[in-house]
Structure 1
Amino acid sequence: MSSAKPLLVVLGATGNQGGSVIAHFLSVSPSSYALRAVTRDPSSAKATSLASQGVEVVVGDFDDPKSLDKAFDGASIIFAATDFVQLMLSASLRERAAATGEPPGFYIRDYEAQQNKNIIDAAAKVTTLDRFIFSGLPNVNKLSEGKYAHVYYCDSKALAEEYGKAKYPQLWEKTSVFYAGFFLENLIGEDGAFRPTLNKSKDTLIAQKGEPLTTVLFPWYSAVQDTGPFVAALIHAAPGQKLLGVNQWLSLQDIYKIMAHTMGKAIRFVDSTPTISIGDPEFQRAHKGLIGFSVEFGYDGSKVDKTVLRPEELNKSIRLPSVEDWIKQQDWDNILQCE
């Protein structure tokens, strides 16, 4: 696609983070960038919807470096995000892990790390590239000195980030890293992570209050609504920044109280700790490890790593709808189940 505008290439364009980046720049009129969405399946409903809005949609496979070379051709900016959850749910990858005798969590950690290394290798070849925005997370195992060794979806991205920084110093001079906070979408997604319930008469919200998750402050944000503005801020800031994606620091109890108030319902807390509904023990172990790490070292490792910025430290002009506004937008009566 030829265009006088600089080209912004978005990986994971049909997912939460990449989709938010595309949506944000589509909403800016006139847009400063030509947009290219990279997806494994350009015939999917989300991909065809993007194409109908004027976005160039191309095939790109994180396991196929040659496809990435083509997808990145002419790019001025690349935003890269991968999805550990989908990899972890892959039956074929679990079979391959079993064949090696390696636990699936570690096998798929290394698999996602390699996908990101492929992306970084391809980005390093792009002579037109001005900025690389990498969606990463802290090296939990390293920062905790091995105490939390099973937070696979953080370490997979961190290993690739360390690889890129060491192997491609010139690329890393024009790279910024985005650390996504806790997704508000976890309250409404199919797995129902952290979702409360309603009583039978639907006049009371029933929520769990177990320690430490529900009382400790965590960085919540909407991956769908907020990622785009954060990435835009990183693009316009000096390179070399690490930014935490946080809208508000809230505990789950805070969120439940906002939900109850918004819905006009009473709230009753029960003595148990919410957890992700994905029953896989590797997911449960990773989730427990992340919570423990967050309490002890900070979600972004900020108690030991002082390089990660808060949004107000990067750009004071970033303005996002509040978490309460996001909650008001949801159709909770249809989302929440009754006890």
Structure 2
Amino acid sequence: MSTRTIAVVGSTGEQGAGVVAAVLSSSSYIVRAVTRDPSSDKAKALVAAHQAHVDAGRLVVVQANLDDVESLKKAVEGAQVVFGMTTPSLNEVQQGKNLVDAVKASGVEQLIWSGLPSVAKLSGGKFTRIFSYEGKAAIEAYAREQLEHVTVLMPGGFYNNMAFPWYTQRKPDGTVRFSLMSKHADPAVGWTDPSVDIGAFTAAILDKPQTLTSGKTYPVMHLVKTDELVRKLEQLSGAKVAWEPLSKDELHDMMAGKPFGEMLEVAMSEMFQFVDSTPEDHTCYGMFSRAEDPSLELGVQATTFDEWAARSGWKP
């Protein structure tokens, strides 16, 4: 049986580099790392981190641009699986569709897509302006229309965003403010280490029969209540931590002057409100009950807060 190949789009970013590392360490797949610029510092660092696999022919870096369908076709041609992701931008949906078109034209067997749900649909039209979610949901819908085998990974909030002031702030008196903009002190929120978890779940999918994973959506997140996070932040920082939700005025001031600040302000406000409204006994933005979490069949779990804190060394 010939060795199978996975093409990893976005291979020098957090998620993609994590996929490259996980697949190389846990499978026999050849990894084709797709990047806009193979001569970039990030691409060179990826090669250096896996030089033994490069020397063995298991890791190859190739060039492609999500704005260029022909380059994508060349990059994924001959691969059996493609891992795909996009980053928020004004042309994100078109970039995602370009990747889907390339996957289809090149006869790739399976697309593993790092996506997000349509909050507009999940909320019954109540929250419609979370653009990053709607864009990725539109790409997923297009992929499922065009391709036979699509598997979707759904991450939660990224742990490394904890450092942003709309999550944690160190006050002049040494105490810490934890500021999830929520009405309740204990919503169950899903968190993800993008540099590790997406890769671990992708490797687990590759280890399973395609007949099991095709068409599935797998939550990639660890659920933890806000009050539990407060306790963990206190242990980590050695300081008193208070849960104090941001006011709309505070969020407005934080976003003022930022590129697309008004859009970000509205999107974040709606996202916090939506998370607040999801049932506590559910996961993946309310898509599944915890007992019916499809990711249980993969035999892998997302990173806990304690694991991420120890690995990253971050403290508030």
- Alpha carbons 1:244, 1:311 under 8 Å: kept: yes
Q: Given the two structures, how large is their TM-score scaled by the length of structure 1? A: 0.77
Q: Given the two structures, how large is their TM-score scaled by the length of structure 2? A: 0.82
> 1:266 maps to what in 2?
240
> 1:44 maps to what in 2?
40
Amino acid at match of 2:161: N
Alignment of 1:248 with 2:223, yes or no, is yes
Change (3 A) 1:210 1:158: closer
> 1:187 maps to what in 2?
162
| Deviation for aligned residue 1:117 | 0.8
- Using the TM superposition, name which of 205-214 and 231-240 deviates more: 205-214
Aligned mate of 1:226, from 187, 190, 197: 197
> 1:196 maps to what in 2?
169
| Deviation for aligned residue 1:187 | 1.2
| Deviation for aligned residue 1:240 | 1.4
| Deviation for aligned residue 1:275 | 5.3
Aligned mate of 1:282, from 250, 263, 285: 263
In the TM superposition, 1:1-339 aligns within 5 A as 4-28=2-26, 31-52=27-48, 53=50, 54=54, 55-84=59-88, 87=89, 108=90, 111-127=91-107, 129-166=108-145, 168=146, 171-172=147-148, 174-188=149-163, 191-197=164-170, 199-200=172-173, 202=174, 204-208=175-179, 211-212=182-183, 215-237=186-208, 238=212, 239-251=214-226, 253-270=227-244, 272=246, 277-279=254-256, 280-297=261-278, 300-302=284-286, 310=293, 312-315=295-298, 317-332=299-314, 336=316
Change (3 A) 1:17 1:310: farther
The 2-side partners of 1:158 and 1:122 are apart by 19
| Deviation for aligned residue 1:70 | 0.7
Which SS does the other structure have where 2:83 is aligned?
A: strand
- Alpha carbons 1:38, 1:60 under 8 Å: kept: yes
Amino acid at match of 1:186: N
- Alpha carbons 2:190, 2:223 under 8 Å: kept: yes
| Deviation for aligned residue 1:244 | 1.0
CA offset digits 1:108-157 (Å, max 9, x no partner): 2xx21111111111101223x33210111112223333321101111111
Backbone CA RMSD of aligned residues:
2.9
Amino acid at match of 2:170: T
| Deviation for aligned residue 1:82 | 0.4
| Deviation for aligned residue 1:313 | 2.9
- Alpha carbons 1:219, 1:249 under 8 Å: kept: yes
The 2-side partners of 1:39 and 1:246 are apart by 26
- Using the TM superposition, name which of 225-234 and 273-282 deviates more: 273-282
| Deviation for aligned residue 1:218 | 0.9
CA offset digits 1:85-110 (Å, max 9, x no partner): xx2xxxxxxxxxxxxxxxxxxxx2xx
| Deviation for aligned residue 1:33 | 0.9
The 1-side partners of 2:243 and 2:165 are apart by 18
- Alpha carbons 2:182, 2:276 under 8 Å: kept: no
Q: Percent identity?
A: 27
| Deviation for aligned residue 1:6 | 1.1
Amino acid at match of 1:132: L
CA offset digits 1:138-185 (Å, max 9, x no partner): 12223333321101111111112212222x2xx23x211111111111
- Alpha carbons 1:221, 1:248 under 8 Å: kept: no
The 1-side partners of 2:20 and 2:3 are apart by 15
> 1:104 maps to what in 2?
none
| Deviation for aligned residue 1:220 | 0.8
Which sections of structure 2, spanning at least 5 residues, go unmatched?
Answer: none
- Alpha carbons 2:168, 2:177 under 8 Å: kept: no
Amino acid at match of 1:71: A
